[in-house]
A and B are shown apart, each in its own frame.
Chain A
Amino acid sequence: MAATRSFSSPCKSPSGFAHLLKYPTLPSSSSSSTSLPLPKPSAVNALKKKTNNHQVRSEIRSYDNHHQNWTIEADPLRFIPTSSLASPSSVPMATSSSALESSVKNAKKVCLFYCAETKALAEGIAAHSDAIELRTITWRKFDDGFPNIFIPNAQGIRGQHVAFLASFNSPAVIFEQLSVIYALPKLFISSFTLVLPFFPTGTSERMEDEGDVATAFTLARALSNIPIPRGGPTSLVTFDIHALQERFYFGDNILPCFESGIPLLKNRLQQLPDSDNVSIAFPDDGAWKRFHKQLHHFPMIVCAKVREGDQRIVRIKEGDPSGRHVVIVDDLVQSGHPENGLSYFWITDSCPSTVQAVKHKAPFEVLSLAASIAATLQI
Chain B
Amino acid sequence: MDKSQNKKHVVLFYCAECEDLARKVASQSDLITLQTIKWRNFDDGFPNIFINNAQDLRGQHVAFLASFSSQGVIFEQLSVIYALPRLFVASFTVVLPFFPTGSFERMEEEGDVATAFTMARMLSNIPISRGGPTSLVIYDIHALQERFYFGDHVLPLFETGIPLLKQRLHQLPDSDKIVVAFPDDGAWKRFHKQLDHFPAVVCNKVREGNKRIVRLKEGNPAGCHVVIVDDLVQSGGTLIECQDLSILKKVLAANGASKVSAYVTHGVFPMQSWERFTHKDEVSEKAFTYFWITDSCPLTAKAIANRAPFEVLSLAGSIAESLQT
Contacts and interface: CB of A to CB of B under 8 A. Distances in A.
A binds B: yes
Interface of A: 43-50, 142-155, 170-176, 178-180, 182-183, 187, 200-201, 204, 209-215, 217-218, 221-222, 225, 334
Contacts of A215: 46-47, 49, 75, 79
Max count, chain A CB within 10 A of own CB: residue among B52, B55, B125: B125
A155 B110 contact: yes
A153 B111 CA distance: 7
Contacts of B124: 225
Nearest to B76: A171
A210 B87 contact: yes
Given A175-B75, A209-B50, A218-B83, 15 more contacts: A47-B44, A144-B237, A149-B115, A150-B112, A172-B71, A174-B74, A182-B117, A201-B46, A204-B46, A210-B87, A211-B53, A212-B51, A213-B51, A221-B82, A222-B125
A83 to B, nearest CB: 35
CB-CB nearest 10 A-B residue pairs:
A142-B237, A143-B270, A211-B54, A154-B111, A172-B72, A171-B75, A46-B43, A149-B113, A213-B49, A151-B111
9 contacts: A43-B42, A44-B42, A147-B115, A150-B109, A150-B113, A151-B113, A175-B74, A175-B75, A183-B114
B28 interface: no
Interface in B131-149: none
A43 B47 CA distance: 12
Contact of A218 (B52, B75, B104, B113): B75
Contact of B104 (A146, A171, A212, A222): A146
Interface string B244-263: 00000000000000000000
B173 interface: no
Contacts of A46: 42-44
B308 interface: no
B40 interface: yes
Interface in B71-128: 71-76, 78-80, 82-83, 87, 100-101, 104, 109-115, 117-118, 121-122, 124-125
Contacts of B111: 150-155
Nearest to B70: A145
Contact of B50 (A172, A178, A212, A217): A212
A45 B43 contact: yes
Given A178-B122, A213-B51, A200 B115 contact: no
Interface residues of B, number: 52
A178 to B, nearest CB: 6
A218 B44 contact: no
Contact of B122 (A151, A180, A225): A225
A334 B71 contact: no
B234 A183 contact: no
B43 A225 contact: no
Contacts of B40: 44
B218 to A, nearest CB: 31
B71 A146 contact: yes
Contacts of A212: 49-51
A145 B101 CA distance: 10
A225 B268 CA distance: 29
B45 A148 contact: no
B293 to A, nearest CB: 15
A356 to B, nearest CB: 16
B44 A200 contact: yes
A357 B270 CA distance: 32
A142 B43 contact: no
B29 interface: no
A213 B79 contact: yes
A205 B270 CA distance: 36
B37 to A, nearest CB: 8
A145 B44 contact: no
Contact of B237 (A44, A49, A143): A143
B237 A222 contact: no
Max count, chain A CB within 10 A of own CB: residue among B42, B70, B238: B42
A261 to B, nearest CB: 19
B48 interface: yes
Contacts of B82: 217-218, 221
Contacts of B234: 143-144
A206 to B, nearest CB: 13
A209 B38 CA distance: 13
Contacts of A210: 54-55, 87
A174 to B, nearest CB: 5
A50 to B, nearest CB: 5
Contacts of B172: none
Given A143-B234, A174-B71, A176-B71, A182 B118 contact: yes
Given A146-B71, A179-B113, A225 B125 contact: yes
B303 interface: no
A127 B88 CA distance: 51
Contacts of A49: 44
Contacts of A334: 42-44
Contacts of A211: 50-55
B109 to A, nearest CB: 8
A210 B56 CA distance: 10
